[in-house]
Amino acid sequence: MDIKQLKFLIALDETRHFGQAAARCHITQPTLSMRLRSLEEELELPLVNRGQRFEGFTAPGERVLAWARTVLAAYDGLQAEAAACRGNLVGTLRLGVVPLSSFDPLPLMQRLHAEHPNLRFELSALSSEQILEQLANNRLDLGVSYLERLDGERFDSLAFSETRMGLLYDQRFYNFGEAPLNWESLIELPLGMLTSGMHFRQSIDHNFHSRGLTPQPLLQTDAVHQLLQAVHGGFCCAVMPLDSGLENLTDHLRLHPIENAQTLSRLGLIMRRSAPRSALAEACFAIYQKSQSES
């Protein structure tokens, strides 16, 4: 068994296709199949359900896949740790961010990249639950998520400032003057919202319901980009993080403050506490703390 076989197994899981997995790993499909069969023979377990195409993993294969991810994360962490001991950071920083986070990761990534040019970044949009699960399983190095009910024994965190809300709209179709909006005025507007399972939507619903209001959204979606497209087309307006910079995406978008509008919980930067802990995550934590002290 070698590390490449585990990489092949993970690539197959992520692509769900033998040919695409082989292309990702820069090998031929027969070579990929041969190496995976060799792994199965060594472990004396069937890992992959094979037909005319990839049909998923066997039950033992799913368990081996979880270990493969852990081993590969440890391997990458070892490489990053060795580079950090030499005064350099290499590898890929895996960052998970909840949808509609008011935290912009770009300045942090730019600063890290400027100090460590060999560093790469993998940015994923995930739910709060997915972020905590993947941090615990060492599939993410850092998360940006809500700190509500965070287990302080398992995770370290740095809290951000409170997330305020505003109404995003296209000025070609709407005009709200200068005064902040109130929730009562929003109820009459065509609203676009994220689906109800998302934390940001729950905060919006709480602000309406606590005032005895029941919104009837014109559009609900689990895709932020579709929501932004609908707003830009004048189809609807949407409640968004006030300091997110979304109004700068086009010349026509505006983000108008809403009175007494905050999310239910604060966002924060989250890192697992237990070893092995990513040297990349620790460096990122330190740089963010330093940037906050400088501002």
Q: Torsions phi, psi of 269, nearest 5?
A: -90, 125
pLDDT at 32 over 80: yes
Distance CA 262, CA 255 (A): 15
Q: List the Cα angle 277/288/153 in 5-degree steps.
A: 40
Mean pLDDT of all residues belonging to the chain: 89
List of E strands, the chain: 48-50, 54-57, 91-97, 119-125, 142-146, 155-159, 164-170, 192-194, 219-221, 238-241, 253-262, 267-272
Report the Cα 56 to chain-centroid distance in Å.
25
pLDDT at 116 over 70: yes
pLDDT at 271 over 90: yes
pLDDT in tens, 135-175: 987 788 899 999 988 998 899 999 988 899 999 999 999 99
pLDDT at 34 over 90: yes
Over residues 54-78, mean pLDDT: 86
Distance CA 285, CA 197 (A): 29
pLDDT at 206 over 90: yes
- Confidence at 295, pLDDT banded by 50, 70, 90: low
- pTM, whole model, 2 decimals? 0.69
CB 146 within 8 A of CB 203: no
Task: Name 167's Cβ contacts closer than 8 Å, sequence gap at least 6.
Answer: 176, 181, 186, 189, 237, 238, 239, 240, 255, 256, 258
| Nearest Cα to Cα of residue 58 among 76, 79, 44 | 44
pLDDT at 123 over 70: yes
| Highest mean pLDDT out of 68-77, 134-143, 160-169, 284-293 | 160-169
Distance CA 277, CA 295 (A): 28
Distance CA 92, CA 94 (A): 6
Distance CA 186, CA 215 (A): 9
| Highest mean pLDDT out of 6-10, 194-198, 279-283 | 6-10
Q: Which one has a higher pLDDT value, 99 or 138?
A: 99
* pLDDT of the residue at 282: 84
Of all residues in the chain, what percent carry a pLDDT higher than 70?
99
pLDDT at 106 over 90: no
- Sign for the CA dihedral angle at 57, 26, 121, 156 comes to positive
pLDDT in tens, 229-259: 999 999 999 999 988 888 888 899 999 999 9
Q: N- to C-terminal Cα distance for the chain?
A: 50
pLDDT at 276 over 80: no
- Confidence at 92, pLDDT banded by 50, 70, 90: confident
- Confidence at 185, pLDDT banded by 50, 70, 90: very high
pLDDT at 77 over 80: no
Q: Which residue bears the tokens 């109404």?
A: 167
| Highest mean pLDDT out of 27-31, 118-122, 244-248 | 27-31
